[in-house]
Amino acid sequence: MIPYSRQTISFLDALYVAKQVKFKSLTQGFQIDNFEEKVAKYVGAKFAVAVSSGTAGLHLAHLALGQAKGSKVITSPISFVASANSIIYAGQEPIFIDIDPYTGNISVEKLQEAVGKHQIKTVVPVHYAGFPCEMEKIFNICQKESIRIIEDAAHALGATYDTGERIGSCKYSDLTVFSFHPVKSITTGEGGIITTNNEDLYLKLIKLRTHGIAKNDQSVQNEILGLTNGKRNAWYYEMQELGFHYRLTEIQAALGVSQMRRIDSFINKRRKVAKRYNKFLKKLNNLDVLKSNENMMGAFHLYPIKIKFDKILISKNDLIQALRKLGIMSQVHYIPIPLHPYYKNLGYTVAELPNAIDFYQRILSIPIYPGLSILKQRKVIRSLNKLIQ
């Protein structure tokens, strides 16, 4: 089978992880710091905080901003449910706005309307499929209203803004969150990381990911128990607020350190696959490539195509099954979040999301990953041509 995506693990990755398991610590050691430093340097941010998943990162990002319970937070309906779930975890209210039908990212025009209509406290742009949102425009809208920004960059490690900086540099946001699930730009198995340029947010995140416990270099609140002659007691720790067990392990961090050595290679290979798709798929009738696919700023976590199923003699489900019989896996990214039963039961509808619904009805993600050979990619293209034409 040709999967729609897969991890790229080398012998050196396995060896580096094995050495960590055999000789070093398994948790709370130096590899966490090593990994955080490498990611922060790569994206151009001052600070990075590794966590157990991208979802955990989004949750902590909301908590670190400290917005009041019930605050309204804008995000995209075309995303994995974690983008909205993390808002609810933090006791806040998701507001879904429609997307740009040509990119899959949130519409700047709809954002402007929503900011005027609701008292918005935070915006969470999702870099769909690894393609950058129009962050400079989003930033300018939010700055005028003192709205905070968390970039959901789960798909976008290695992507750049149109101004040249890497996503994660936080040029246009307070915080950026990445995911290291196996099919992402790099993997730690599971895991995520939050980047920021704000030291106060960084210290808050460090505390929140470990049960709310202050590190040894953070100030002590209970000085009677914590200090002797003005110096911190060697055994002492204190929980200063309610936090979570969201730490990454040393084993996962070791894999991340090894993978970061090849991040540029991974992104370049994904972009070469995307260029070949662009060249051949643009010629097919009843199929559109996303506008974002046409530039090479994206990380190409996914390669989504839009198919005019109303113009062809095969349904989406039948097409997916036919491709599977030919040994080609595909996927739909994503079911609009308000259509999930949990969100429908909360009263969400898609009445004001026509672009998102049309996008869902037409979208299909086809195979893309660094190890996808030209021969296999040609098979995907030929099969799509035969089935769609």
What local confidence, expressed as pLDDT, does residue 29 receive?
83
Of 278 and 389, which is predicted with more confidence?
A: 278
Of 234 and 295, which is predicted with more confidence?
A: 234
| Segment 146-167 mean pLDDT | 96
What does the longest C-alpha to C-alpha distance in the chain come to? 81
With contact defined as beta carbons under 8 Å apart, do 113 and 28 qualify?
no
With contact defined as beta carbons under 8 Å apart, do 155 and 149 qualify?
no
> What does the DSSP assignment read for 197-246?
S-HHHHHHHHHHTBTTBPPTTSPPS-HHHHEETTEE-TT---B-S---B-
Query: For residues 168 and 132, what is the distance between their CA atoms, to the nearest angstrom?
Result: 11
- What the block records as the tokens of 203 is 């210290």
Query: For residues 58 and 328, what is the distance between their CA atoms, to the nearest angstrom?
Result: 33
Percent of the chain with pLDDT over 70: 100
Query: For residues 80 and 8, what is the distance between their CA atoms, to the nearest angstrom?
Result: 22
Q: Is 177 strand, coil or helix?
A: strand
| Among the listed residues 190, 205, 183, 199, the one whose alpha carbon sits nearest the alpha carbon of residue 45 | 199
Please tell me the pTM assigned to this model.
Answer: 0.96
Fold held by 11-260? Aspartate Aminotransferase; domain 2 (3.40.640)
Model confidence at 232: pLDDT above 80? yes
With contact defined as beta carbons under 8 Å apart, do 138 and 326 qualify?
no
| Segment 156-179 mean pLDDT | 96
Task: Write down the residue that tokens 């490690």 correspond to.
Answer: 157
CATH 3.40.640.10 residue ranges of the chain are 11-260
Task: Write down the residue that tokens 């870099």 correspond to.
Answer: 127
Model confidence at 361: pLDDT above 70? yes
Model confidence at 292: pLDDT above 80? no
Which CATH architecture fits 263-388?
A: Alpha-Beta Complex (3.90)
Model confidence at 54: pLDDT above 90? yes
- What the block records as the tokens of 341 is 């039963």
Q: pLDDT band at 61, cuts 50/70/90?
A: very high
Model confidence at 143: pLDDT above 80? yes
What local confidence, expressed as pLDDT, does residue 293 receive?
67
Query: For residues 385 and 287, what is the distance between their CA atoms, to the nearest angstrom?
Result: 10
Angle at which helices 54-65 and 199-208 pack, to 10 degrees? 120
Model confidence at 296: pLDDT above 80? no
* Range of lowest pLDDT (26-30, 92-96, 349-353): 26-30
Model confidence at 279: pLDDT above 70? yes
Looking at every residue in the chain, the average pLDDT score rounds to: 95
Query: Cα-Cα-Cα-Cα dihedral of 182, 333, 102, 361, to 10°?
Result: 160
224-233 LR contacts (CB < 8 Å, sep 24+)? none
Those residues whose C-beta lies under 8 Å from the C-beta of residue 305, and which sit 6 or more positions away, are: 281, 287, 288, 289, 290, 363, 364, 365, 366, 384
| Among the listed residues 67, 34, 35, the one whose alpha carbon sits nearest the alpha carbon of residue 175 | 67
Task: Write down the residue that tokens 């969400």 correspond to.
Answer: 348
| Among the listed residues 368, 387, 385, the one whose alpha carbon sits nearest the alpha carbon of residue 303 | 368
What local confidence, expressed as pLDDT, does residue 53 receive?
98
CATH 3.90.1150.10 residue ranges of the chain are 263-388
What local confidence, expressed as pLDDT, does residue 27 receive?
87
